[in-house]
Chains A and B, each alone.
Chain A
Amino acid sequence: QQQVKQSPQSLIVQKGGISIINCAYENTAFDYFPWYQQFPGKGPALLIAIRPDVSEKKEGRFTISFNKSAKQFSLHIMDSQPGDSATYFCAASKRQGGKLIFGQGTELSVKP
């Protein structure tokens, strides 16, 4: 059962543009939603995370938007740069659950 669905599978954006990646979850018990960035041959790096008591969280060029009623959340990367080219994973977990459920990943390519 795919508990976290991520789209698109791949994304090409011009330098300076906005990259948007979407995720949907099924389990209403989830209450922690992180995004990870992974470069080839490296482990995932925690980028930004949100809990459902807020609808938006911003850290630098990265913003998470959260829609609890729709059970959806998204990552926006503003002013995308070639160095942002990587695979991005959304994930979900229960508070204190310890088990992260990951989406399938989105391969982002930012063209100069």
Chain B
Amino acid sequence: ETGVTQSPTHLIKTRGQQVTLRCSSQSGHNTVSWYQQALGQGPQFIFQYYREEENGRGNFPPRFSGLQFPNYSSELNVNALELDDSALYLCASSQILERETQYFGPGTRLLVL
């Protein structure tokens, strides 16, 4: 059984640019959630995807968007990057019948300069 994987591990962007982060869910899991974790804080829910559709969204602006693919992998896209977007971005996978039981990947560390 493979765990949740994310790429890239680290990324440096400048303000105003766009970024795409990728996630492969744990085998057998069909639901993917994305979280933002600022330094010294707990993760904050961005959104969740199931069957390639957004299935719940947290308090994040529309410049945060996502995709889920038929193989359940997912992308997080952030447009018009701001300095405050610097954070660890975490992907978590789960089964739809137990969406709350989520297993996290190692994260992508994004630095916006």
Binding site for B on A (CB under 8 A): 6, 32, 34, 36, 41-46, 49, 89, 91, 93-105
Contacts and interface: CB of A to CB of B under 8 A. Distances in A.
Nearest to B10: A41
A85 to B, nearest CB: 16
Interface residues of B, number: 29
B99 A46 contact: no
Interface stretch (B13-21, B62-70, B72-80, B101-109): B101-109
Given A43-B107, A46-B103, A100-B100, A89 B42 contact: yes
B42 A104 contact: yes
A104 B48 CA distance: 21
Interface string B1-43: 0001010000000000000000000000001010100001111
Contacts of A42: 106-107
A36 B101 CA distance: 11
